[in-house]
Structure 1
Amino acid sequence: MQHPDASAGTSTGPSESGRVVLEIAVQDVAGARAAVSAGADRLELCAALAATGGLTPSAGLVRHVAAAAGVGVHVLVRPRAGGFVYTAEELAVQVADVRTVLDAGAAGVVVGALTPAGAVDAAALAALVEAADGAEVTFHRALDVVADRPAALEVLAAHGVRRVLTSGGAPRAGEGVAALGALAERARELGVEVMAGGSVSADDVAALVGAGVHAVHLSARRAVAGDGGPGGGGGGGYDATDAGLVAAARAALDAALPPR
């Protein structure tokens, strides 16, 4: 299986190149275009972000976003909302979805699975990495409910995971700077990237970069009114990517990095 080149969204880390990647979570083609036009280096594509924290998008959406983006598109594979302990059937769905989204043009996948004891589910992770067949694998914020995150990093590294998205265990990444710094230091030794994410705003970027993370992740969303009626979710509307918020994060990231 051949996968798209993800180099447009890949970083070797601030300690090696001074480059920190800006990743934006998007939910549609318009959001992908807006994020890239405002300075995103890489995209995470998911569905139902505000309501659930993100679920697996359709293959059709993956195909169209990958064709439109011009940067690496990494697709969230998560079958439902709630915790990250999965049944055998749920894992089988995720394995199939990993293959499907990569066939549809994704540059990588974003996955995560835990044991009932709250550790990384190594067997599930191995199945997901195998399904990725060499494409980049990111472990998502399931890490933030793991008690021993440094030990979890070693499991991720042993299974070939490229990066982890984390707030350092804090409600917001901006409140987890010290923990993120320690994780980034250990992850660099293991060859894993740490991407700071969790309610990130432009005001958080300088401190996150100072902590030594390899990438900064945010959703940069604004609410759009739209009444779906009784069969469409009522009057809650939906979220759209705000290019202005992406641009502010881009400017903050550029200001925080040393000149090349």
Structure 2
Amino acid sequence: MTALEFAVQDVAGAHGARRAGADRVELCAALGSTGGLTASIGTIEAVVGAGVPVHALIRCRAGGFVYTDDDEIAVMNADARAAVSAGVAGLVVGALTQDHRVDVEVMRRVLDGIEVDDMELTFHRAIDQIDDRSAALDTLIDSGMTRVLTSGGASHCAEGLGELAAMVEHARGRIQIMAGGGVTVGDIPGLHRAGVDAIHLSARRVVPDDGGPGGGGTSGHEQLDNHLAAAAAEQLRSTSSAEHPTS
């Protein structure tokens, strides 16, 4: 059965994802403006109590995924430890070398001191900056990662279906392939046919809310769209039922 994951940024989003029947949520902050950063520890603790498995994004800043600053790595390690202490079910991490390969050493340092055998570990969309994703999958398998979040290297998953299917074939069940990146409800049948293990989408809307001159120039904040989340869940259920009818 293809799993369903929503990216959420607050407690309300976690409750909405649970009601829609999500298998888990990825918790982050500043999703629309940065692609996602680590949520505050208060938010993590509150969302863990919402009744859905929480996977916390560990990313200390916007921009690329090459980390050469020891302080940045130390911050991500501290955030990862705090998230685990708060009761998350998994961590979402990623790091690249200067030549855009998986940075195993930085990943080790970010996860230092964490009982990784008790955690589900997702390598995030940093993999979409890697040219040889098959080699990257082998590295992540050897590193004990549970899954990888990817659009198949495309701007949107719908444009990366061929690569996603190739990654599924290369993985051969050794690591989960989770499709994510610009996913719409209409994309779900095609992603399901590609054989991915999970589908990840934000299903978010902007709630109008003028922050004024001190609010960063934004005119609202993002939140899970409950209707869109429910539609995505229903689409996945109906697609799965159509391809695997009950006898």
TM-score range, shorter chain: over 0.9
**Which letter does structure 2 place at the counterpart of 1:201?**
T
| Equivalent residue number for residue 162 of structure 2 | 178
**Secondary structure at the residue paired with 1:216?**
strand
| Equivalent residue number for residue 43 of structure 1 | 25
How much does 1:165 deviate? 0.2
Q: Which of 58, 67, 78 pairs up with 1:77?
A: 58
Q: Determine whether 1:224 maps to 2:207.
A: yes
How much does 1:235 deviate? 4.0
| Equivalent residue number for residue 145 of structure 2 | 161
| Equivalent residue number for residue 259 of structure 1 | 245
Whole-angstrom CA distance in 2 between matches of 1:228 and 1:192? 43
Whole-angstrom CA distance in 2 between matches of 1:182 and 1:130? 32
1:56-115: per-residue Cα shift (whole Å, max 9, x none)?
0011111110111x2210000000000000122211111111111110111110000000
Q: Which runs of 4+ in 1 moved over 6 A?
A: none
Whole-angstrom CA distance in 1 between matches of 2:135 and 2:57? 23
Q: Which runs of 5+ in 2 are unaligned?
A: none
Whole-angstrom CA distance in 2 between matches of 1:131 and 1:109? 14
**Which letter does structure 2 place at the counterpart of 1:206?**
P
| Equivalent residue number for residue 123 of structure 2 | 139
Q: Which of 226, 229, 238 pairs up with 1:243?
A: 226
How much does 1:130 deviate? 4.0
Is residue 14–residue 52 contact of structure 2 (8 Å, CA) maintained in 1? Answer: no
**Secondary structure at the residue paired with 1:24?**
strand
**Secondary structure at the residue paired with 2:136?**
helix
> Residues 84-123 of structure 1: matches in 2 within 5 Å?
84-86=65-67, 87-123=69-105
RMSD: 1.2
**Secondary structure at the residue paired with 1:230?**
helix
Q: 1:131 to 1:150 in 2, by over 3 A?
A: farther
Is residue 206–residue 223 contact of structure 2 (8 Å, CA) maintained in 1? Answer: yes
Is residue 7–residue 200 contact of structure 2 (8 Å, CA) maintained in 1? Answer: yes
Amino-acid identity (%):
52
| Equivalent residue number for residue 133 of structure 2 | 149
Whole-angstrom CA distance in 2 between matches of 1:129 and 1:157? 16
Whole-angstrom CA distance in 2 between matches of 1:182 and 1:234? 42
1:10-45: per-residue Cα shift (whole Å, max 9, x none)?
xxxxxxxxx110000000001110111122111000
Is residue 185–residue 232 contact of structure 2 (8 Å, CA) maintained in 1? Answer: yes
Q: 1:225 to 1:105 in 2, by over 3 A?
A: same
| Equivalent residue number for residue 11 of structure 1 | none
Q: Determine whether 1:208 maps to 2:184.
A: no
Q: What is the TM-score normalised by the length of structure 2?
A: 0.94
Is residue 150–residue 179 contact of structure 2 (8 Å, CA) maintained in 1? Answer: yes
> Residues 44-59 of structure 1: matches in 2 within 5 Å?
44-59=26-41
| Equivalent residue number for residue 63 of structure 1 | 45
Q: 1:131 to 1:177 in 2, by over 3 A?
A: farther
Is residue 5–residue 25 contact of structure 2 (8 Å, CA) maintained in 1? Answer: yes
Q: 1:205 to 1:99 in 2, by over 3 A?
A: same
Whole-angstrom CA distance in 2 between matches of 1:65 and 1:106? 9
**Which letter does structure 2 place at the counterpart of 1:42?**
R
Is residue 161–residue 192 contact of structure 1 (8 Å, CA) maintained in 2? Answer: yes
How much does 1:255 deviate? 1.6
**Which letter does structure 2 place at the counterpart of 1:148?**
D
